């Protein structure tokens, strides 16, 4: 799309977007305020959005506070990611009941049609995360049909960032703050005095079709410049940064770096970082039976490489120490992921820093390991 292919949508017309999506059979999922956080859930109109709210984020710190305006998207990313819709936290794989002959017969269920989702409010780092998960879940030789079905008909309305959070480092990872692909429509929110409007980009034919139902106008030069200025401010506000120069080789060289012992003294192995991460995809399978032994179900649910049972095999756990588990997580995220899937597993959203109870910072750990090589303290 050329720079001239931009459109404006006034705040007063924003709810027309919800109506256009509803007419096309979409269930809209977007940001809303719940339990003192901004989370993703089904929403029906702009009143459900975090109107006038923003967030403060730092290591181990997240607080909502009121803005001095009525921005709809004036916040950063919260504890939820779109992963929960690509890879739900828990899925029943099958269930069976003991028959009259003592065997198990699978219970037939009418297939449930997945909702036709429209994701509203996805940020650039999250679009990159969704693309990474797509490669992991459906990009291989034997994709799960259920994983593929969850993504086939999703319409994505992105929001270009106009501010950065205290733990954001998407600029370092090359994943933001603005998206140039992966969306059907992208919005930049602009508050200019008494005027409140959005600058729109269209990324697909479906997006153009939805735009046709909205009262829009072609963006003028000053409106495009206002959007570009917001993007530039967000890029300049990054709360964190990480030097990714040869990061894969750096971590491979430092498998025995004493820094791993330092972080292990602080890490609780709680798994918060993996739960909030938009790309972590570890799962486990659990069988559940009733007390009479007549009924059994098998569930797939999220797991974490920080749980000691995750690496348990015959003879014991492969990664029995906190040191080895944190090292596995960070090295996989920034290094071995590249070998497996062709890109880093980190998109710089900063969630793992914000939601770590003891404020462990992946950018600081990478910086410390790099610095130890320069000072000769990297160990064996």
Q: How confident is the model at residue 3 (pLDDT cuts 50, 70, 90)?
A: very low
- The whole-angstrom separation of Cα 162 and Cα 160 is 6
> For position 174, what pLDDT does the model report?
96
Residue 140 has pLDDT above 90, yes or no: no
pLDDT of residue 219: 96
Q: How far apart are CA 350 and CA 123, in angstroms?
A: 13
122 pLDDT above the threshold of 80: yes
The count of C-alpha atoms lying within 13 angstroms of the C-alpha of 120, restricted to the half-sphere facing its C-beta, is 26
Give the global pTM: 0.92
198 vs 380, higher pLDDT: 198
pLDDT at 176 over 90: yes
What confidence tens digit (pLDDT) does each residue in 225-241 have?
999 999 999 999 999 99
At 369, give phi and psi (nearest 5°).
-65, -45
Q: What is the pLDDT of residue 318?
A: 83
pLDDT of 154: 94
What's the pLDDT tens digit per position in 95-110? 888 877 767 677 766 5
CB 163 within 8 A of CB 74: yes
- Those residues whose C-beta lies under 8 Å from the C-beta of residue 62, and which sit 6 or more positions away, are 37, 55, 56, 78, 79, 354, 355
pLDDT at 1 over 50: no
Q: Mind listing the pLDDT tens digit for each residue in 72-103?
A: 999 999 999 999 999 999 999 888 888 777 67
117-122 and 27-34 as β-strands: parallel, antiparallel, unpaired?
parallel
Quote the radius of gyration of the chain (alpha carbons, Å). Answer: 23
Percent of the chain with pLDDT strictly greater than 70: 96
Please tell me which residue, 162 or 109, carries the higher pLDDT value.
Answer: 162
Is the pLDDT at 281 greater than 50, yes or no? yes
The string of pLDDT tens digits covering residues 198-214 is: 999 999 999 999 999 99
Would you state the pLDDT for residue 151? 81
Burial of 287: CB neighbours in 10 Å, binned 0-12, 13-18, 19+ = exposed
What is the separation, in whole angstroms, between the first and last Cα of the chain? 52
How many Å apart are CA 61 and CA 225, to the nearest integer? 34
Residue 277 has pLDDT above 90, yes or no: yes
The mean of the pLDDT values for the chain is 92
Span 278-301, average pLDDT: 91
- Predicted pLDDT of residue 54: 97
Query: Which pLDDT score, from 0 to 100, does residue 111 have?
Result: 61
pLDDT given for residue 108 in this prediction: 62
Q: State the sign of the Cα–Cα–Cα–Cα dihedral 9, 14, 16, 17.
A: positive
């Amino acid at each position: 799309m050329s720079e001239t292919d931009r459109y404006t949508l006034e705040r007063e017309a924003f709810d027309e977007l919800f109506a256009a999506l509803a007419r096309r059979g979409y269930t809209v999922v977007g940001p809303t305020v719940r339990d003192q956080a901004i989370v993703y859930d089904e929403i029906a109109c702009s009143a459900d959005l975090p109107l006038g709210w923003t967030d403060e984020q730092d290591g181990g710190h997240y607080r909502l506070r009121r803005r001095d305006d009525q921005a709809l998207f004036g916040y950063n990313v919260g504890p939820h990611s779109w992963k929960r819709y690509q890879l739900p936290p828990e899925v029943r794989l099958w269930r069976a009941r003991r028959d009259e002959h003592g065997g198990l017969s699978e219970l037939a269920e009418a297939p449930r049609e997945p909702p036709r989702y429209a994701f509203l409010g996805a940020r650039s780092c999250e679009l990159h995360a969704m693309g990474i998960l797509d490669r992991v879940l459906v990009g291989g030789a034997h994709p799960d049909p259920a994983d593929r079905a969850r993504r086939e008909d999703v319409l994505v309305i992105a929001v270009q960032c106009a501010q950065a959070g205290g733990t954001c480092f998407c600029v370092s990872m090359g994943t933001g703050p603005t998206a140039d692909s992966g969306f059907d429509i992208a919005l930049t929110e602009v508050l200019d005095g008494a005027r409140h409007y959005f600058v729109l980009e269209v990324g697909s034919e479906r997006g153009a079709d939805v735009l046709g139902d909205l009262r829009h106008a072609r963006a003028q030069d000053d409106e495009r410049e206002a959007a570009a200025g917001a993007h530039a401010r967000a890029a300049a506000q990054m709360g964190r940064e990480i030097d990714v120069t040869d990061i894969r080789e750096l971590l491979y060289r430092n498998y025995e770096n004493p820094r791993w012992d330092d972080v292990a003294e602080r890490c609780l192995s709680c798994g918060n970082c993996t739960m909030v991460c938009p790309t972590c995809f570890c799962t486990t399978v659990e069988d559940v039976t009733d007390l009479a032994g007549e009924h059994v179900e098998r569930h797939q649910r999220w797991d974490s490489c920080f749980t000691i049972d995750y690496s348990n095999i015959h003879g014991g756990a492969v990664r029995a120490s906190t040191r080895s588990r944190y090292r596995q997580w960070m090295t996989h995220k920034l290094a071995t992921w590249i070998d497996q899937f062709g890109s880093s597993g980190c998109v710089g959203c900063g969630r793992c820093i914000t939601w770590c109870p003891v404020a462990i910072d992946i950018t600081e750990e990478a910086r410390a390991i790099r610095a130890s090589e320069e000072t000769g303290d990297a160990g064996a």
